[in-house]
Structure 1
Amino acid sequence: MFKGRPPEDGDMETPTGDAGIYARESSYLDQFVQFGEAGDRVISLSFPSTPEADAGTDHPLLDRIEEYLQGAEDDFADVTVGLTVPTAQRRVLEAVREIPYGEDASVAQLARMTPDLDDEDQEDLTAVREALAANPVPLLIPDHRVRDGPSAAPPPVEQKLRAVEGL
């Protein structure tokens, strides 16, 4: 469930309950940040040059992403994502979420972090790279923290996300 921003000054966490597409322009990224939400789960996140015509602009997650891009530390660990990927890719992407803000890992390290994968098996390393490339929610599943793997975010966005975290 999307819990929203951590409570501050007596604010309460509440799920949005919304379903739809939301987007906001980021001057830092020189792109829009757009995500799809269904049943309190984020199911997609992308960085288009033009958002969907019917995208809403007001959402707590967009506020948090904007603050993150301005330097506020946020790991988005409380944001529930709805992964519709094969189980093997899911395991890899779940392991990516364990890489802390401001730290990075190699593809081999990520393979070691993922159940049933061997960091010395080339097929397993390829599977890790394929899962990273297929990530439906880059930033929320921070594939930019895997220094030698592909990111589902466009390369200029990936580099800016790394810069935000000092990587």
Structure 2
Amino acid sequence: MDAAGIYARQSDALGRYVQLGVAGDRVVSVSFPETAPENADSDHPLLDRVDGYLAGAEDDLADVPVGLTVPTDQRAVLEAVRKVPYGEEVSLERVLAMAAGLDPDREEDVETARAALAENPVPLFVPDHRVRDGPSGAPRDVAAFLRDLES
């Protein structure tokens, strides 16, 4: 992966930018701003892959290294979501069953999972849009586009 920095490119499919924050060899943030920061570079191989994915190429992006700086219980949720294959959807209950140390029957764990998805720092690479009854770290219209894209 290229040097650390902020990378952003306009996505015609989304009608907004895709912005990546990269630190070392890991993606640490993904956002979808209306405009790109002035200091953002538009040239990054991951942006090329994202462009292809948004254009319909079947790419689960699961091999992209991510840096998750979230609490351990939320990390377990996001790591479970990362294992959901391209084109599949799972329930929040299923995610909790897949996440180490969490119980789908405990309301506290359900709230932890919902918070992890809503605060997901790297949507696309942790595909929370594949959780049919959970929130997303991406804007609602972006998550809906991604669901439609993979269906």
Give % identity.
59
Residues 107-143 of structure 1 show CA distances to partners (whole Å, capped at 9, x for unaligned) of: 1010000011111111111111011011100011000
Unaligned runs of 5+ in 1: 1-14
Following TM superposition, by how much is the alpha carbon of 1:69 offset from its aligned partner in structure 2, in angstroms? 0.5
In the superposition, the TM-score normalised over structure 2's length comes to 0.98
1:110 alignment partner, one of 88, 95, 104: 95
SS in 2 for 1:52: coil
Instruction: Give 1:152's match in structure 2, choosing from 137, 141, 146.
Output: 137
1:48 is matched with which residue? 33
Gaps of at least 5 residues in structure 2 are: none
Aligned to 2:104: 119
Partners of 1:115 and 1:87 lie apart in 2 by 10
Larger radius of gyration, structure 1 or 2?
1
Verify: 1:97 aligned to 2:78, yes or no. no
Q: Give the TM-score taking structure 1 as reference length.
A: 0.89
Runs (4+) of structure 1 moved beyond 3 Å?
none
2:51 aligns to what SS in structure 1?
helix
Task: Deviation per CA, 1:62-84: give whole Å up to 9, x if none.
Answer: 00000000100111111100111
Q: Secondary structure at the match of 1:23?
A: strand
Find the aligned partners of 1:57 and 1:79 in 2 and give their Cα distance.
18
Give 3-state SS (helix, strand or coil) of 2:95's partner.
helix
Alpha-carbon distance between aligned partners in 1 of 2:99 and 2:4, rounded to the nearest angstrom: 31
Q: Take 1:136 and 1:125, find their aligned partners in 2: how far apart are those partners? A: 19
SS in 1 for 2:111: helix
- Partners in 1 of 2:105 and 2:68 — Cα distance? 27
Question: What does 1:6-155 align with in structure 2 at a 5 Å threshold?
Answer: 15-16=1-2, 18-155=3-140
Give the residue type in structure 1 aligned to 2:125: L
Letter in 2 for 1:89: Q
Q: What's the RMSD between the two structures over aligned residues?
A: 0.7
